[in-house]
Amino acid sequence: MQNDDSIIRNHRESSPLSTTSSLVGNLQAGSRERWETFVLLYSPLLRFWIRRERVALAAEDDVLQETLRSVFSGIGQFTKDSQCGTFRGWLRTIVKRRAVDHFRTQPAESIVSQSSLEAIPVPEQKDPADIQSEEQALTDLKARALELVRQSTSEKTWQMFWLNLVEGVPTSELAKKFNVSPAAVRMAKARVLSRLRELMGDDAHEIS
């Protein structure tokens, strides 16, 4: 009979979602489903960064589309040890470059000084969902990812994950509550975290 540690180890070794770069790996593999999920999860954050670059509201959609095209065409070359470091840093760099490209195409008379730009307040953001800061944008991304995972996870597995990782209920207590072994509680948490890594990559580690 396997002990608790071997059960968890075997799960990690056999699961295609166990690496910290599952999000990147799935996108690099060309998964259409994962790409559509990426667009759903990350577009609001990308849009927030585009606004931070002072792109006009009327041009947001165009810059977002160019950003997504660049991600799609460049994901095969992304590595964590690249100059941008994290996947999120890489995405942010692409947004900056596409914003620069956008401004280069604007008529000279429409370009104002940096000081003038800084004096212009960022327009209130109502789509998507009143993102007020980068921290809030990331919080919203995590909330969307958690909801997607919850929809595809049994209620029992989800509760064991949530109570253990987020609310800090001890594994032994949850094992008694749900009438399962401690290994089953740890397995439930590992499964949900694996699914989150599939959607969020390294950002999944920040959920607590």
- Of the candidate ranges 6-15, 50-59, 67-76, the one whose mean pLDDT is the lowest: 6-15
Query: Identity (one letter) of the amino acid at 173?
Result: E
Question: Cα separation of 51 and 134, whole Å?
Answer: 11
Q: Six-digit token pair at 139?
A: 């919080």
Question: Cα separation of 24 and 78, whole Å?
Answer: 8
Alpha helices (H) along the chain: 4-14, 22-28, 32-52, 60-74, 87-104, 114-119, 134-151, 155-161, 171-178, 182-200
The pLDDT assigned to 84 comes to 59
- For the segment 58-81, the average pLDDT, to the nearest whole number, is 88
The pLDDT assigned to 206 comes to 66
Report which listed range, 27-31, 94-98, 197-201, is most confident.
94-98
Check residues 199 and 126 and name the one with the higher pLDDT: 199
103-153 pLDDT, tens digit per residue, is: 888 765 455 444 444 444 444 444 444 445 677 888 888 888 999 999 999
CA angle 175, 15, 173 (to 5 degrees): 10
Q: Exposed, middle or buried, 5 (CB in 10 Å: 0-12/13-18/19+)?
A: exposed
Q: Exposed, middle or buried, 166 (CB in 10 Å: 0-12/13-18/19+)?
A: exposed
48-62 pLDDT, tens digit per residue, is: 999 888 888 889 999
Q: Exposed, middle or buried, 57 (CB in 10 Å: 0-12/13-18/19+)?
A: exposed
Q: Which of 55, 56, 44 is nearest to 100 (CA)?
A: 55
